[in-house]
Structure 1
Amino acid sequence: MARLDVTETFKGICFPGHLHTQESLRYATEFKFQDTDTLIVTYPKSGTTWMQEIVTLISCKGDPAKSQMQPNWTRAPWIEQYYCSDVLKAAQGPRLLSTHLPYKLLAPALQRSKAKVIYVARNPKDVIVSYYHFHKMANFLKDPGTFTEFLSTFQEGTVYYGSWFDHVKEWTSNARNIDNFLYITYEEMWEDLRSSLEKVSRFLQCPLMEDELSSAQKSCSFSTMKENSMVNYTLVPQEIMDHSKGKFMRKGQIGDWVNTFSTEQSRNFDISYASKMADSVLTFVWETKKSCIDSESLPVYNS
């Protein structure tokens, strides 16, 4: 299934046709969640791959064998992508799932289960830069044009998967409507990976011994993941993802946006952000290592 130039529009949101069909998107909105499922929810380029690796390693008690032998898209398939149902037919044990879908599309299905939901957010300036570079190498995504053009499209919410602002606000503001919900940020994981591993393991009720925690931390470090072909997408054919134009796992840093945004672009985005996020309690780390994230305002909800 190539469909590299196809765009699917579903419920007013655009998706890359290479991975999505009308049938696969309907399948996701009607998904039969099981109480033992763990669902990783992210807007694109917000730490999906990282959390997939973290949950895999926690469930394997720090043993890296599975993450070194099985591609992450089969370990934690996106429920809205066309291959998901086939992957899950062969799945055994508790399922690890992923999605980029907005809350409004999954709410009905989730409210019928006690599946665990992990929502990972990232500061939007870094999301924009990462997403822009991904568009330049992924042949199934639209040509992003100049960074100025892409920035404008992103702020309008007309990029693939829709508005970042709507996505993060809808999921986090509806946290109490989900029986088991964990909010964590990319910046938290970057600044203190060990504590983040402990936080996720507590949520999953899968405690790790000290040696298991150390093994997991080593295996899900950015440097290790960057060299792992099961994670870095080098297994994807060149005609689909042109690795000569960039790396899927590029820098993974906080604040790399300063190397792309102009002063004026940053100032204008700040104004737009302040307006669109005025009704949100979320705060993000933009440049510094010192965390200012009010994650306690979005606690873990366990039934």
Structure 2
Amino acid sequence: MADPSLNTNSTFTSNSNPEEGEESILRSRPPFKDLPKIEEVDSKYKELILTLPKEVRWPFVMRKYKGFWQTEKILPGIMAMEEAFKPRPSDVIVASYMKSGTTWLKALTFTIMHRNKYVFSSHPLLKLNPHDCVPITEYHYATRDEQYLETLPSPRVLGTHLPYSILPESIKTSKCPIVYICREPKDVLVSLWHMVTRFEWFKKSFPFTQAFEIFCEGRMPYGPVWDHVLEYYMKSLHSPEKILFLKYEEMMKDPIDGVMRLAIFIGFPFSEEEIKNGLVEEIVEFCSFNKLKDLDVNKNGIGHVKNDFFFRKAVVGDWQNHMTPEMAIKLDDITKEKLHHSGLIF
């Protein structure tokens, strides 16, 4: 494989069938503004959604569905996905709570799986955000764009923020591996707050102290975060062949080991020759925060969502710049209580 390059003038080229001149059909995701209003939602979903508990303190209206808070505009897509999504045997699912290292994990998984298809110098990640290469499945259902998922060639890498209990049964009963990444809750909150307050259309004041209180109550999109993490963690203990449970902090500390484990789990292990030739290190470097952040595509975006808000600091412990010691103790105590007896610690 060629050395990593940031030549964004390249076109996507297939390594495996260069004579066919195959081009990637991946494209940018629809803008958030395309999400239908609740008045426009299919009546079979609308009637149920309007009966669910409501939360309005978060910048988006949220509803509590099956124990988790979901953005009201995404909820019809979640319900439709539960009913209709049909995985392929070769699919790999990348799951996470929001702002837990999702963008990085998507880039790594996509690059590992397609390393024999794309050379670094003409890789899709040079022109598309990782969330375009690994689409958020429920979002495409919410924008009524689910047919796009069917156009993607196998093997697909598909993303989701759904808790395990709300995943379609078709995924749970399939042989599709699920890779889940979690992150220290204090850093999750800080990263999520920064992202939300950068929406161009969001003009209201949303101080960090308010976000902190709502987070502690578990009333965040896809939250409570502790229940989200616990579902995947406990399932990974009982079905380690189904779910690979990763910690963002451990991945940051030893990305080489993390990438090796990831490749084995999803069925694309590195050969001895690839390891000897330094391919693992090349992939880690190619998907690194600084490389991805500096690409033009990740400095811009579409509609009201700029791709640069997926890339902020990617550091461990940034919560210390935003929380008082009292706030940190409160959130730590809640986390310990919620994870009590599970064996999971941060």
Task: Decide: shared fold, TM above 0.5.
Answer: yes
Return the letter of the residue paired with 2:305: M
Contact 1:229 1:235 in 2 (8 A): no
Matched with 1:136 is 197
**CA-to-aligned-CA distance 1:88-143 (integer Å, 9 cap, x gap):** 12211111111111111116232320001001010101001101111111257795
1:48 matched to 2:112: no
- Distance verdict in 2 for CA 1:262–1:156, change over 3 Å: same
- Which region of structure 1 is more displaced relative to structure 2, 115-124 or 274-283? 274-283
Aligned to 2:343: 281
1: CA distance, partners of 2:127 / 2:95: 24
1:183 counterpart = 2:279: no
TM-fit CA distance, 1:69: 2.9
**Alpha-carbon distance change, 28 to 3 in structure 1, aligned in 2, over 3 angstroms:** closer
- The alpha-carbon deviation at position 252 of structure 1 amounts to 0.5
Residues paired across the two proteins, number: 277
Q: Give the structure 1 partner of residue 290 of structure 2.
A: 223
Q: Identity of paired residues, percent?
A: 26
109, 127, 139: which one aligns with 1:69: 127
Deviations 1:152-195, CA, capped at 9 Å, x for gaps: 10111111112101100111112225752111111122111111
The residue number in structure 2 matching 1:234 is 300
Q: Tell me: CA distance 1:251–1:106, structure 2 relative to 1, closer, same or farther (3 Å).
A: same
For residues 201-252 of structure 1, the C-alpha deviation after alignment (integer angstroms, 9 at most, x for no partner) is 111221331332232111111111111344x362233xx1368xx8431110
Partner of 2:137: helix, strand, or coil?
A: coil
Q: Which residue is equivalent to 1:36?
A: 90
Secondary structure, aligned partner of 2:197? helix
**2: distance between equivalents of 1:141 and 1:34?**
38
In 2: Cα distance, 1:141 partner to 1:56 partner? 32
> 2: distance between equivalents of 1:275 and 1:141?
34
- The more displaced of 66-75 and 34-43 is 66-75
Give the direction of change, closer, same or farther, for the CA distance of 1:217–1:196 in structure 2 (3 Å limit). same
Are 1:117 and 2:181 counterparts? no
TM-score normalised by L of structure 2: 0.73
TM-score normalized by the length of structure 1: 0.82
Which one is further off, 53-62 or 217-226?
A: 53-62
- 1:152 lines up with 2:219 in the alignment: no
Q: Hey, what does 1:100 align to over in structure 2?
A: 161
Selected match of 2:151 from 65, 72, 90: 90
Residue identity in the other structure for 2:284 = Q
Q: Which amino acid aligns with 2:148?
A: V
Cα separation, partners in 2 of 1:165 and 1:21, compared to 1, 3 Å: closer
Q: Structure 1 residues 98 and 222, CA, compared in 2 at 3 Å: closer, same or farther? A: same
Shift in alpha-carbon separation, 1:40–1:242, aligned structure 2, 3 A: closer
Q: State the secondary structure of the residue aligned to 1:174.
A: helix
1:28 and 1:178 mapped to 2: Cα distance?
25
Give how far 1:10 is off: 6.0
CA contact (8 A) 2:299 2:306 kept: no
Secondary structure of the corresponding residue to residue 110 of structure 2: helix
Write out per-residue CA displacement over residues 39-96 of structure 1, whole angstroms, 9 at most, x where no aligned residue. Answer: 0110000011101100111112283312113332332111111345132122111111
The farther-off stretch of 42-51 and 101-110 is 101-110
The 3 A distance-change label for structure 1 pair 248 and 72 is closer
Distance in structure 2 (CA, Å) of the matches to 1:274 and 1:142:
35
Native 8 Å contact 1:132 1:144 kept in 2: no
Paired amino acid for 1:74: D
Q: Which deviates the most, 190-199 or 69-78?
A: 69-78
Question: What residue identity is the alignment partner of 2:79?
Answer: R
Question: Is the alpha carbon distance of 1:16 and 1:151 closer, same or farther for their aligned partners in structure 2, counting shifts above 3 Å?
Answer: same
Matching of residue 173 in structure 1 with residue 228 in structure 2: no
Q: What residue ranges of structure 1 are gaps of 5+ in the alignment?
A: 285-303
Match of 1:15 in 2: 70
The verdict on how the C-alpha distance between 1:59 and 1:15 changes in structure 2, with shifts beyond 3 A counting, is: same
SS in 1 for 2:159: strand
Which position in structure 2 is the counterpart of 1:268?
A: 330
- Indicate if the aligned counterparts of 2:218 and 2:224 stay in contact, CA closer than 8 A: yes
Checking the alignment, whether the CA contact within 8 Å between 1:135 and 1:142 is kept in structure 2 is no
Matched AA of 1:206: F
Give the greater-gyration-radius structure (CA).
2
More displaced 10-residue stretch of structure 1: 274-283 or 7-16: 7-16
Distance in structure 2 (CA, Å) of the matches to 1:140 and 1:41: 27
